[in-house]
């Protein structure tokens, strides 16, 4: 029998409820994509939305698959697990870059993360970003008159807004070039046939941003005082030493590229608006009541948060146990992998009322969505001490502004089924067409 539900814990001889599957699951991960976690649970004799931990061999290492509130608490407990070295290099390299904050722990992580949070998370930094994204999206609606797709066009708009906000002195042409390569990096990730393209894009991006940092340090490029670019050129490690230009450039990318990636959510938002037209009118009215504002429209923010909760982006995240521990009575031994089901946690029926229903209403009036333990589309725990993305507020600003733009009366939302179609087995997924859009 491949899966069994009741196992005996080695901690006290108590019978605990957890499941296991004995066969290697690496091939299933490659084939299943976002469906992997639910399929593993069924293979282990559980329901697809069970919160029960599952033990399994994955990519040659014993792994415990977790979800829900207890899973989040274990995964972000730095006294029991670590992120350093947990993510395979083939994943970490193209997505985050070698030496990035995502793979650090302890003092090194704390020092680096605080510097990044100072740049992207504080309210004044988010406020400084808003006029840039509003201006770029206003221009984008005009460009939509010629027809375009939401994914590609918002990736460009978000890239321009991010680079301008960061104080990077590039021409529009150069901003578009690097926005495109950042976007393509995600599009080619997880596709063996074009993996080389993602590696080449990663190399090119790292070289360009490292050169930018070196030029700022050498005085060849003037970075505006107190700009993100200026601060990243002065990035230091836990010993107070200036980090090398390559690492500083990677972290500058990590403050701008995730915002380009929000284009995937923007494409999903367009499909959600097409499927929930009652929200189009509601968001449009709310914007008009604020003199046509694109940012800070509560209804659009709620819609954006629900898109981030329901639609797939990051499927799972790995960590490694640093001591023997347990979750729900399931033993987790030192050195074993802990795999947090991100999408499953965001849609966990034990944590969310009507978890499978798309309902932005659940976020209306919620002042701090990050305080919801099981809402982790861009990581969890405290932004400074945990692994939550420091650019999350900016991401929500971008997405909610795009939602308002898509609700403008002159914008024609998709009606073709092709625009609403995406793959659950391909990571990282998005609507196949990018979602075609046109403005009158």
Question: In angstroms, rounded to a whole number, what is the distance separating the alpha carbons of residues 150 and 148?
Answer: 7
The helices-and-strands tally (H runs, E runs) of the chain is 16, 12
- Can you say which residues are annotated as belonging to the binding site? 389
Q: According to the model, what pLDDT value does residue 177 have?
A: 97
Can you name the residues that pair with 4 across neighbouring β-strands?
20
- Can you say which residues are annotated as belonging to the binding site for heme? 389
The architecture of the domain spanning 3-439 is: Orthogonal Bundle (1.10)
Q: According to the model, what pLDDT value does residue 90 have?
A: 58
Q: According to the model, what pLDDT value does residue 85 have?
A: 76
Helices 150-166 and 123-143: crossing angle in degrees, nearest 10, is: 140
Alpha helix locations (H) across 121-149?
A: 123-143
Report mean pLDDT in 10-residue bins for the chain, 440 residues. 50 61 92 95 94 95 96 94 76 62 74 90 96 98 96 98 98 98 82 75 95 98 96 94 95 95 98 97 98 98 98 92 96 97 96 97 95 92 80 97 98 90 92 95
Q: According to the model, what pLDDT value does residue 46 have?
A: 95
**Of 277, 337, 291, 328, nearest to 29 (Cα)?**
337
HSE at residue 386, side-chain half, CA atoms within 13 A, is 18
Q: According to the model, what pLDDT value does residue 18 have?
A: 81
Q: According to the model, what pLDDT value does residue 13 have?
A: 45
The H or E element spanning position 188 is: helix 172-188
The H or E element spanning position 394 is: helix 392-406
Q: Please enumerate in sequence order all residues whose Cβ is within 8 A of that of 247, keeping only pairs 6 or more positions apart, or say none.
A: 99, 100, 235
pTM value is 0.93
- By the 8 A CB rule, do 325 and 70 touch? no
Q: According to the model, what pLDDT value does residue 10 have?
A: 47
Model confidence pLDDT, tens digit, residues 40-68: 999 999 999 999 999 999 999 999 999 99
Q: Which residue has tokens 């947090």?
A: 340
Question: In angstroms, rounded to a whole number, what is the distance separating the alpha carbons of residues 410 and 290?
Answer: 18
Q: According to the model, what pLDDT value does residue 6 have?
A: 46
Domain boundaries, the chain: 3-439
| Number of other residues whose CB lies within 10 A of the CB of residue 13 | 7
Q: According to the model, what pLDDT value does residue 381 have?
A: 82
Q: Render 225-265 in DSSP notation, one character per residue.
A: TT-HHHHHHT-B-TTSPBPPHHHHHHHHHHTTHHHHHHHHH
Question: In angstroms, rounded to a whole number, what is the distance separating the alpha carbons of residues 374 and 385?
Answer: 17
Q: Please enumerate in sequence order all residues whose Cβ is within 8 A of that of 127, keeping only pairs 6 or more positions apart, or say none.
A: none
Model confidence pLDDT, tens digit, residues 399-438: 999 999 999 999 999 888 899 999 999 888 999 999 999 9
Q: According to the model, what pLDDT value does residue 415 have?
A: 84
Q: According to the model, what pLDDT value does residue 228 have?
A: 97
φ/ψ (deg, to 5) at 375: -110, 95
């Amino acid at each position: 029998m491949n899966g069994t539900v009741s196992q005996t814990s080695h901690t006290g001889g108590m019978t605990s409820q957890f499941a296991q599957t004995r066969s290697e699951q690496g091939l299933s991960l490659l084939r299943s994509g976002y469906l992997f976690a639910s399929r593993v649970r069924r293979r282990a004799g559980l329901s697809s939305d069970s919160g029960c931990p599952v033990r399994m061999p994955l990519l040659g290492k014993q792994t415990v698959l977790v979800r829900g509130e207890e899973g989040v608490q274990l995964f972000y407990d730095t006294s029991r697990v670590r992120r350093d070295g947990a993510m395979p290099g083939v994943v970490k390299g193209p997505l985050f870059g070698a030496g990035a904050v995502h793979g650090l722990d302890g003092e090194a992580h704390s020092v680096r993360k605080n510097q990044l949070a100072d740049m992207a998370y504080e309210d004044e930094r988010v406020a400084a970003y808003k006029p840039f994204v509003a201006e770029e999206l206003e221009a984008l609606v005009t460009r939509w008159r010629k027809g375009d797709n939401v994914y590609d066009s918002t990736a460009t708009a978000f890239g321009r807004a991010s680079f301008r906000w960061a104080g990077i002195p590039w021409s529009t042409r150069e901003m578009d070039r690097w926005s495109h390569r950042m976007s393509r990096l995600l599009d080619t990730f997880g596709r063996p046939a074009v993996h080389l393209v993602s590696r080449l894009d990663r190399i090119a991006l790292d070289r360009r941003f490292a050169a930018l940092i070196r030029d700022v340090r050498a005085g060849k490029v003037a970075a505006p005082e107190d700009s993100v670019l200026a601060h990243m050129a002065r990035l230091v490690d836990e010993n107070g030493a200036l980090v090398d230009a390559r690492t500083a450039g990677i972290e500058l990318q990590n403050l701008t590229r995730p915002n380009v990636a929000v284009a995937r959510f923007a494409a999903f938002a367009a499909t959600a608006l097409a499927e929930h037209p009652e929200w189009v009118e509601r968001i449009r009215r709310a914007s008009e009541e604020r003199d046509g504002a694109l940012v800070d429209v509560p209804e659009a923010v709620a819609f954006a948060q629900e898109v981030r909760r329901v639609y797939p982006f990051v499927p799972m995240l790995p960590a490694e146990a640093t001591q023997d521990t347990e979750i729900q009575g399931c033993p987790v031994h030192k050195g074993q992998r802990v795999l947090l089901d991100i999408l499953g946690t965001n849609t966990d029926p034990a944590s969310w009322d009507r978890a499978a229903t798309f309902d932005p209403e659940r976020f209306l009036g919620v002042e701090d969505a990050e305080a919801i333990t099981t809402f982790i589309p861009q990581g969890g725990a405290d932004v400074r001490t945990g692994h939550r993305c420091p650019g999350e507020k900016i991401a929500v600003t971008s997405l909610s502004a795009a939602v308002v733009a898509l609700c403008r009366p002159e914008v024609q939302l998709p009606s073709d089924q092709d625009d609403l179609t995406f793959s659950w087995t391909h990571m990282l997924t998005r609507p196949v067409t990018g979602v075609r859009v046109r403005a009158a």
